[in-house]
Amino acid sequence: MGEAWGRTAQRGMVIGLCGDLGAGKTQLVKGLARGLEIPEPVHSPTFALVNVYSGGRLPLFHLDLYRLESAEQIIGAGLEEYLNPEGVSVIEWADRWFGPRPGSHEFAPPAMRALRWVQMEVVSESERRICYEDFGH
C-alpha cells in the first residue's frame, strides 16, 4: 500500500499516521519510500524527530512524534515547516499534534495542500487494519 501511495504522491502531500506501537507505521513509510524511488534505507526517526530522504522522485520528510507529549512541544520543536513540504511529509503519531482527527485539536495545523489521515490497528501478529481519509486538494 505504501509503495502504491509513493508512486502517485504529489509535492506538498502530508500523511499523518496513527496507531499503537507495532502497528506498522514505519513499515508503511518504507513502502512509501520505495514508491518514491528513494535509494537509501528508511529508519524510524524516534530520537532524531525528523529524517530527510532525497534522491528519489520527491524528497521524503519522515517525522516521529512519539517522544513529544503535547502540541506545544511539537510547535516548540519547529516542525510546522513540514506541513507544506517541497516533497512528501509523513508524520508518525500525528494524533499527538492534530488530535484524534484533523481539525479537532486546539493546535490544529494551518491548511495543507493535501492531508491523508491514516489509522492503523493491529488485528493479529501478521494482520493490520488500515483506514484512511484524504483532506484538501
Query: Could you read off the pLDDT of 91-127 as tens digits, one per residue?
Result: 999 988 887 766 555 444 555 678 999 999 999 999 9
Q: Give me the residues paired with residue 21 across strands.
A: none
Bridge-based pairing state of the strands 60-64 and 50-53: antiparallel
pTM, entire model: 0.89
User: Edge-to-edge, what's the strand order for the sheet holding 50-53?
Assistant: 50-53, 60-64, 88-92, 13-18, 114-124, 127-136
Query: Could you read off the pLDDT of 29-52 as tens digits, one per residue?
Result: 999 999 999 999 999 887 889 999
Number of structural domains, the chain? Answer: 1
Query: What is the span of the domain harbouring residue 74?
Result: 2-136
Domain of 33, CATH number, reads 3.40.50.300
